[in-house]
Amino acid sequence: MGDENPSDPGQNLSCVSCHNPHSGDNENLFYSATGVFELCQECHNK
């Protein structure tokens, strides 16, 4: 068991917690199209 995914309680944190392997719109395959920092700050708020 890995760390718990803060954006999806009860699920393990993994690559696909932040990255969409099927997204061609975003260079780094992040789920957030509005901005990477907003996505990161969902978990990293310091």
Distance CA 45, CA 27 (A): 23
Tens-place pLDDT, residues 4-43 = 887 788 989 888 888 888 866 777 787 766 666 777 777 7
Domain-by-domain residue ranges, the chain? 1-46
Our CA angle for 27, 32, 38, nearest 5°, is 115
The per-residue pLDDT for 38 is: 76
Q: What pLDDT sits at residue 6? A: 78
